[in-house]
Amino acid sequence: MTARSSGEVASALGKGLVSGAAGTALMTLAQMIEMKVSGRAASATPAKAVEKVLDLEPADDAAERRLGELTHWGYGTALGMARGALDAAGLPPVAATAAHFALVWGAELAMLPALELAPPATEWERSQVAKDIGFHALYALGVGLAYRYLDRHEH
């Protein structure tokens, strides 16, 4: 593994941040399509997590929806930096994307039960597990593809 300069690490983190936004956009599009098809409402879980951690109480349902969207986009965008860090650490692209998926989905599996916002995944219905894996895999793939694009077109 080759040592990276601070400029290379900063570049990787910056590309990760932009890629995180792209992956979040892809995941959001897939979720919107799934909600339209299934009739499912948007999840309040992102907002509930922030409310619990920061001891917030939104003024109304609209404020809670905005908090949820801001949390979803902020979290997904920021977690893209982890993909950049994996690249800076020298992981090959496919391994970095797989590790990024494991990190992101693993964080959800640990965090939501710890915050008492969801039961452990072992208690979820199989269809919910499959859907959740699919959304997070799509996110990680979107981040990975955007990252590779940015990496190849860096000047």
Domain map (residue ranges) of the chain: 6-152
Q: Over the chain, what is the mean pLDDT?
A: 95
pLDDT digits (tens, 9 = 90+) for 41-95: 999 999 999 999 999 999 999 999 999 999 999 999 999 999 999 999 999 999 9
Over 80: is that where the pLDDT of 2 sits? no
Residue type, 41: A
| Ramachandran bin of 90, using left for φ above 0, alpha for ψ from -120 to 50, beta for the remaining angles | left
**DSSP strand E in the chain: where?**
none
Q: How far apart are CA 97 and CA 55, in angstroms?
A: 33
Q: How far apart are CA 41 and CA 36, in angstroms?
A: 9
Indicate the pLDDT class of residue 4, thresholds 50, 70 and 90.
confident
Over 90: is that where the pLDDT of 1 sits? no
Residue type, 16: G
Could you tell me the pTM of the whole model? Answer: 0.93
Q: How far apart are CA 19 and CA 144, in angstroms?
A: 7
Task: Output the six-digit token pair for 65.
Answer: 């929806």
| Ramachandran bin of 82, using left for φ above 0, alpha for ψ from -120 to 50, beta for the remaining angles | alpha
